[in-house]
Each structure stands twice: as structure tokens, then as C-alpha cells.
Amino acid sequence: MIIVTGATGKLGRRIVEHLLDRVPAHRLGVSVRDPRKAQDLTDRGVRVRQGSFDDPASLVHSFEGAEQLLLVSLDRTGEECVTGHRTAIDAAVEARVGRILYTSQMGAAHDSRFQACRDHARTEDLLRSTGLPWTALRNGFYAASAVLFLETARRTGDIALPADGPVAWTGHDDLAEAAAAILADEGRFEGPTPPLTGPAALDFDAVAEIAAQVTGRAFTRTVVVADDFREKALAHGAPAPIADLMLDIFAAARNGEFAAVDPALAELIGREPAAFRTLLERAWAEQTGWGAHPRP
């Protein structure tokens, strides 16, 4: 049986849907905090069990019978994140899981300038220490993050962000399909995968050009001093740790940590991953009925 955590989240849900295209529902289980949110999966024959990263016993129960466990990384940072992952990995060992797969990130390293990548590196160390077969999916940086950074620019036409570097922006759906392909093939990678990335690495100068092509209006790229960006984020209600985390992303990008482009994702899904322009068009078309065009 394949068990997926976080199966009601943005990535986990997509992975489950792609798995259902590849394996019978009775071979699939999910571990979720609130089983009511996965009722439709129960109705389709998927085994749904309650599991919380703050309740080790619940995880042992929800991981029972797993030949493969996909551990979707927590939306936490620092010690809280690593502690949650340690709890899940210990539960997997206790449940005698056959293989653990983990949604890591390209750039995962102990000396990364991005806290999340340091958390991923520590989690990979935990996986390595179990003695179990394991795979770390080194996912490309989510294109959805770039869309969020463009939220204000969509209205103003000015991409006012800290100095950055090229990032291989990658779509959730392509990464979910790749994870399903690896799970269905019972873990073709040992340890970390190559970077699973979109087809190009783009900085925000390039993103400004793409945004102009998508909308038919001009976009400028203004480099904002890091301290000014942080103060503005705080003024708009962002908690200090989130503001700092955002600055870390730009520092890591300047350091080249997200610049790699690799064919592995295309090989796994059997086609070229979606280009950033396509992902941006889709995202903006879905927002508030504006289509691909920002309001003047």
C-alpha cells in the first residue's frame, strides 16, 4: 500500500489524484488531520485515517501497512518543522514502512541561505539515519510563490522586490505527477533525486517581460533595499518570521541556490514541464474573474 500524508493540501491532493490514475484505490491510503476533508476519497475506495504530526501514535496507526510512505513536508520552519518531521519518520520506522519518500527542495543544504532548505537538509539526515530505503524529491521552487510576489505588481505594473537571482520556477501539478510516477514505480531513486525543475531559470527581470507578454501592458522591475522590503511587509501585517523568510528566498536566489535546470522532471512525466508563462496565465486567469489582465 502507498500512504500519502498531507493529502488535503495543495501538493498532496494533486499527488493522490495522479496516483488514482495509476494504481487501484484499494492500494492507496492517506493520513490527514481531519478525515472529514477527505470524505470524497473514502467514497472512492481510498483508505483514510486520521494522523497528526503532533500525535505519534496516530501516525503509527495511519502508516500501518505502508510499503511506501510519502511524507509531504510540513508548512513550518526551523525546529518546529524538523521536530514534526522527526515524529513522522520515527512513526514510519515503528510502523515498519518499506520506503519513505519525502518532498524536499532543490537547494536543500545545511549552509543554504533559505531556512526551509536547511530544514530539508536536516530532514534528509534523519531519513538517512533510519537505515530504511528513502527518496528525497528535490522539488523545484514553486511557481505559486512567484505569483504571490507579483500580487501587488499585477495592480501597479511595478515589480518592487529585493535583488534576486534566477529561479527554476516549477508547477505544483507537474511535481505531483512526478511524485506519483516515482511512487507507482516503487521508488526508482535512492536518496536525493536530481532537481525536479521547470524548463528555465528566471529572475524577476525576465518575469517582468513575461508578465508584459501575458497582459499586454508594461511592467517595470524596481530593486528594493532589503530593510525597506521587510518594513513594508511588516506594515502590511506579515509576522516578522515570515518577512525574514521572504528575504531569505531572495538571498538564496542571489546565491544561485535555485538556478539549476534539469531534465529529470520532464523524463518522469513524459513531457516538457509547464513554462512559467503558462503557469502565470493560469494563475491570473483564475483570480477574481479578471482573466489574464490586471485592472488598470
> Over the stretch 134-146, which tens digit does the pLDDT of each residue have?
999 999 999 999 9
Tell me the residue length of the chain.
Answer: 296
**Residue 25 falls within a domain, yes or no?**
yes
Higher per-residue confidence, 286 vs 228: 228
What is residue 296's predicted lDDT score, i.e. its pLDDT?
Answer: 26
pLDDT above 90: residue 289? no
Determine, yes or no, domain membership for 249.
Answer: no
Whether 39 is in a domain gets the answer yes
**For residue 273, what pLDDT is reported?**
98
Using the predicted structure, report yes or no on whether residue 294 has a pLDDT greater than 70: no
The whole-number pLDDT of residue 201 equals 98
Residue 100's contacts (CB-CB under 8 Å, 6 or more residues apart) are 68, 69, 71, 89, 92, 127, 130, 132, 133, 134, 135
Residue 215 lies in a domain: no
| pLDDT tens digits for range 25-47 | 999 999 999 999 999 999 999 99
Residue with cell 496507526: 61
pTM assigned to the model: 0.93
Reply yes or no on whether the pLDDT at 152 is more than 70.
yes
Taking 80 as the threshold, does the pLDDT of residue 174 lie above it?
Answer: yes
Mean pLDDT of the region 53-60 = 95
Q: Is residue 112 one of the residues assigned to a domain?
A: yes
pLDDT in tens, 100-139: 999 999 999 999 999 999 999 999 999 999 999 999 999 9
Which residue range(s) make up the domain with 185?
2-139+172-192
**Rounded mean pLDDT of 62-89?**
96
Overall domain count for the chain: 1
Would the pLDDT of 288 be above 80? no
State residue 188's pLDDT score: 84
> Is position 236 within any domain?
no
pLDDT band, residue 51 (cuts 50/70/90): very high
Banded pLDDT at 189 (limits 50, 70, 90): very high
> Is pLDDT of 291 > 50?
no
pLDDT at 292: 39
Say if 23 falls within a structural domain: yes
Q: For the residues of the chain, what is the DSSP string, one character each?
A: -EEEESTTSHHHHHHHHHHHTTS-GGGEEEEES-GGGGHHHHHTT-EEEE-BTTBHHHHHHHTTT-SEEEEPPPS--HHHHHHHHHHHHHHHHHTT-SEEEEEEETT--TT-SSHHHHHHHHHHHHHHHH-S-EEEEEEPPBHHHHHHHTHHHHHHSEEEE-----B--B-HHHHHHHHHHHHHTT---SEEPPPB--S--B-HHHHHHHHHHHHSS--EEEEPPHHHHHHHHHHTT--HHHHHHHHHHHHHHHTTTT----THHHHHHTSPPPPHHHHHHHHHHHSTT-TT----
Would you state the pLDDT for residue 284?
A: 93
Q: What rounded mean pLDDT belongs to the chain?
A: 94
pLDDT grade, residue 253 (50/70/90)? very high
Residue at 60 is within a domain: yes
pLDDT tens, position by position, 214-249: 999 999 999 999 999 999 999 989 999 999 999 999
CATH number at residue 45: 3.40.50.720
Residue 6 pLDDT more than 50? yes
